Amino acid sequence: MPQDTRPLPFMVDGRPYYTLSSYDPVRIEVYVPQVTDEDVSYALDSMVASLGGTASDLDDPQWLQAHFHGARDLAQLRSAVRSQVSASNNLAVRDQVISQTLAALAARLVQRVPDADVERTREQIRSQADARLRDQGRSLEEHEGELSPLAGLIDEEALSATEQAAALDALATKRALEVEDDELPDLLGADPEEARRLVGQAREAGTLDEVRRLALRNKACRLAVSEASVEWHRESDREAAERVAQMRAARAARAPQGGAARTDNARGDAGLRLV
């Protein structure tokens, strides 16, 4: 990786002061996938396999109703799966808009972020990964060997996240954004009661400034996304067919010899409810 020759930020009131080379709305290109019949079939095949079933089980009304509560027939089930895939795609498109907007803003940083800030973000990423593993009864130490090849990706994620936060700080400063107390629940993604609890805990821990700074960054992010100029790339029929073919090939490559792997479902159903 080439050496970053940008200057470090000045410190103002104990915090780094960042600027951007431009504050104009960013221009991004976002890929919008279709929801095809093949997408629905792929998703349905995955659900059936997770239940230990096969394609032929879909022709059995009793099996359908036992595993997909409320399903009267295969046509209704496919309609429900299509809605689920569509909702998932919408979330993915939204995430693309946000991630590309943040990346475009970060590319405008005039200053480089201090190594110490990147390291702090890296440790936060590792702590979050460790917490997820511990919820599963495991720990990061147990998988240190498996994760070592991913260390470079974690370093890249830490640098990217730190730069994006710095870019949002710069935008918030330039646009003179502020966060009112009644905005905190929405900006923190919490209901009013939960937000009050979080603020109270932060005040006791002396980290209230960090909580408000997070809310301010979220406000700056929303502003940047709302102003972004988006060029939509809508998936063609050929691209959609190639994408599903690649997903099927990848799934086949992951399956153990002798048949597709079954993903145990403790509830004995696919988690899909039809009404």
Cα torsion 260, 265, 270, 271: sign = negative
pLDDT in tens, the chain (275 residues): 678 999 999 999 889 999 999 999 999 999 999 999 999 999 999 999 999 998 888 888 889 888 888 788 899 999 999 999 999 999 999 999 999 999 999 999 999 999 999 999 999 988 887 787 777 777 666 666 666 666 778 889 999 999 999 999 999 999 999 999 889 899 999 888 888 898 889 889 988 899 999 999 999 999 999 999 999 999 999 999 999 999 999 988 887 654 444 444 434 455 554 44
Report residue 62 as tokens.
């009793």
The per-residue pLDDT for 270 is 52
Quote the CA–CA distance of 273 and 123 in Å, as a whole number: 39
Q: For 145-178, give one letter per residue: b (16+ CB within 10 A) or e.
A: eeeeeeeeeeeeebbbbbbbbbbbbbbbbeeeee
| Residues in the chain, total | 275
| Type of residue found at 106 | A
User: Do residues 26 and 101 lie in contact, with contact meaning Cβ atoms separated by under 8 Å?
Assistant: yes
The per-residue pLDDT for 249 is 95
Phi first, then psi: give them for residue 236, nearest 5 degrees.
Answer: -85, 170
Distance, CA of 233 to chain centre = 20
The per-residue pLDDT for 139 is 67
Domains of the chain, CATH where assigned: 12-113+153-254 (1.10.3120)
The per-residue pLDDT for 59 is 87
Helix (H) or strand (E) holding 30: strand 27-32
Report residue 265 as tokens.
């479902």
Q: What is the DSSP letter of 189?
A: T
User: Do residues 81 and 272 lie in contact, with contact meaning Cβ atoms separated by under 8 Å?
Assistant: yes
> Helical H runs in 51-148?
61-67, 74-106, 115-135, 144-147
The per-residue pLDDT for 272 is 55
Angle subtended at Cα 116 by Cα 199 and Cα 195, rounded to the nearest 5 degrees: 10
What angle do the packed helices 151-174 and 208-227 form, to 10 degrees?
Answer: 80
The per-residue pLDDT for 158 is 95
